[in-house]
Structure 1
Amino acid sequence: MRKIHLIIVHCSATRCNKPFPVTSLIACHQERFGFTGYHYYITRDGQVYQTRHEQLVGAHAKHYNEHSIGICYEGGLNEKGEETDTRTPEQKTSLWHLIRSLKVDYPDAYILGHCELPGVTKSCPCFIASEEYATLQPPRQNDLLI
């Protein structure tokens, strides 16, 4: 069983007015990595898809994949292509429930947005996940992420 230290939230970096269904995500990752890099994908309607088994290493956060679960929501860009938190109410609800569920299996895992990892310069997922899910965080024993 993999030791999970992090639950990392991402956005698909797609426009909120153009659909990017789970089939498109899978095709994109299949071409890029040979497999789907995220463990979960949440579409605008709040539907949660498991796109990779949790015990398999993903491809979503360089240097952190070995000990993390990757969750991606559809969106992250507004109609003009600007980075924005475009989560629908349904996505916010589904993301909250999914993270709460994962915390049952991985109670010591920290919840971070991709942009909160050291060395990451992008704004993905376009909100600060560690703050939004602060009530689900384990007590910090030190400043190390893993």
Structure 2
Amino acid sequence: MSGLRSLDVKQLGSKVISLIEHVGLLIVLGAAVLAGAQEIAVMWQSGRVGVSDLLLLFIYLEVVTMSSVYWRAGRLPVRIPLYIAMIAISRHLILNTSEVSPWIVVAEAGAILLLAAAVLLVRFGHTRMPYTDEGGAERTHSS
């Protein structure tokens, strides 16, 4: 009888965690859409669109994409946060290049290069060693 209760607790715990994940995902998705809409409104009011504005919109779009992939596949691809980080550093470089030392610019460019190398490494690793589900079935979706 205790085995049955243990199984019920595990199932309940799994359902609660899944519910928390889905609610959190909806919050992140809604916040990204709202932030993107606010940024578009600011651009519309100012009558100007800059490269930093476009990069910020790309960040929001990547968050929406990340939410979509997580919703469909149930997993978060490592590449998407790496893309978001590269875009964020690029945006920082564009906005603050005149205010920082050349060494900071070189360090941020190096960070982007390192993140790009990480994306290539992850892609290579996924082609050579695809994920497997807990049941043992191979998953070959791209990350």
The TM-score with structure 1 as length reference comes to 0.24
Larger radius of gyration: 2
Indicate the structure with greater helix content. 2
TM-score (norm 2): 0.24
Larger RCO (CA within 8 A; separation ≥ 6): 1
> Hey, which of these two has a bigger chunk of strand by percent?
1
